[in-house]
Structure 1
């Protein structure tokens, strides 16, 4: 008997292991994968690359309909293009990181990207299923997801992980963990305080604190939660 497709929403702030966990869970369960944060970064990259003042909400809103953003959903090799250009590297730049909260807070941007995310999830629901990671998936984008997980970690653990990630991406070795922690706190406040789809844990989501867990332990925990949900639905 074929296993029915499952829609998994994994939310949480940066530094909780969300991306690594989501990709691994999708790969091991044979599901598609979508990094929604990359889509907002792609939109932000396009704005910066086309001279749009990201502090001008009206200008961002008007321009948000222009770029064509396409996300590949292979968890082993996810891709993202803007108007046919591979931007998987450029969207991780410090410039994009500094501007993405402002762009993603614009309601018109969120409406455009949310529609794209729902379309991708609907396609996956008709196939193998999908793991969608982000900050408002379980609350706004896919409130009827089959399984919802919200990852957390202590500020210290998140800052240490993010600093190591930045160093691994070619950043300054031994990046200032304290500065990284402050940057994460600012991003959290912006994401949780925006009027349009703020970052929040869904009422029916299971919270997993990753502070003291290895990545493998987090992956196993999430897979267990998804499989439990599948058994209840079967």
Structure 2
């Protein structure tokens, strides 16, 4: 037993790269591309909230009842791939694990995610789960992206990045992903969401120790390289020390 503990203690922990940012900033696509080129894993935290909402809907759990949602978390098993094509699997007591990758992206689920994410205790448990996933990944590093990643989920990560862009640029990017909506409609939606987010999170000013990457004037490749450069700089500094 002592030998096992000693061996684990000496294992190299994955380098954690925490990336925050508003919708349309490019954080999801840029994070994934940067992770692949670095040989790291990518952890999409939003998928867990979607999967939990899906599980609540499937089991008839009251999404607005924090105790009920926490009870559901005692009965589920969550798994997500960190490399390659993303696959999300959910297991519930008494049932075989189910691949819910496409299901959690359906509109019927997306519209319910905020009902589970609003519970502080649920967020706390998922945040702990995210760190456990990273610690047990066996990878040299993991890029973890989502909301509140640099300040709440992984405030001690060696690399913390706030990726942002102007509302106009983000609207242009999002409009291409939302057929049927005009640029003006998407911009209005983004500005409304920014105003709501501003009540609880600051996507404009990085917290102390967080590096700001403004992608307004960067194309995709430049944005990916900016992240890689930041990671490499931290790795280089660590090697020297």
TM-score by length of 2: 0.81
- Name the CA distance, whole Å, in 2 between partners of 1:205 and 1:143: 9
Q: State the aligned residue count.
A: 221
Q: 1:71 to 1:186 in 2, by over 3 A?
A: farther
- Name the CA distance, whole Å, in 2 between partners of 1:64 and 1:189: 31
Q: Is the 8 A contact 2:41 2:139 kept in 1?
A: no
- Name the CA distance, whole Å, in 1 between partners of 2:59 and 2:222: 42
- Name the CA distance, whole Å, in 2 between partners of 1:209 and 1:41: 28
Q: Unaligned regions of 5+ residues in structure 2, if any?
A: 1-11, 92-96
Q: How many angstroms does 1:152 deviate by?
A: 0.7
Q: 1:5 to 1:113 in 2, by over 3 A?
A: closer
Q: 1:4 to 1:230 in 2, by over 3 A?
A: farther
Q: Unaligned regions of 5+ residues in structure 1, if any?
A: 167-172
Q: Is the 8 A contact 2:14 2:135 kept in 1?
A: no
- Equivalent residue in structure 2 for 1:147, among 159, 176, 196: 159
Deviates more, 1:132-141 or 1:59-68: 59-68
- Name the CA distance, whole Å, in 2 between partners of 1:79 and 1:29: 20
Q: How does 1:131-142 map to 2 (within 5 A)?
A: 131-142=143-154
Q: Is the 8 A contact 1:136 1:199 kept in 2?
A: no
Alignment partner of 1:165: what SS? coil
Q: 1:91 to 1:162 in 2, by over 3 A?
A: farther
TM-score by length of 1: 0.83
- 1:28-52 Cα distance to aligned partner (Å, 9 max, x none): 0111111111111111122223333
Q: CA RMSD in A?
A: 2.4
- Residue matched to 1:120: 133
- Residue matched to 1:92: 105
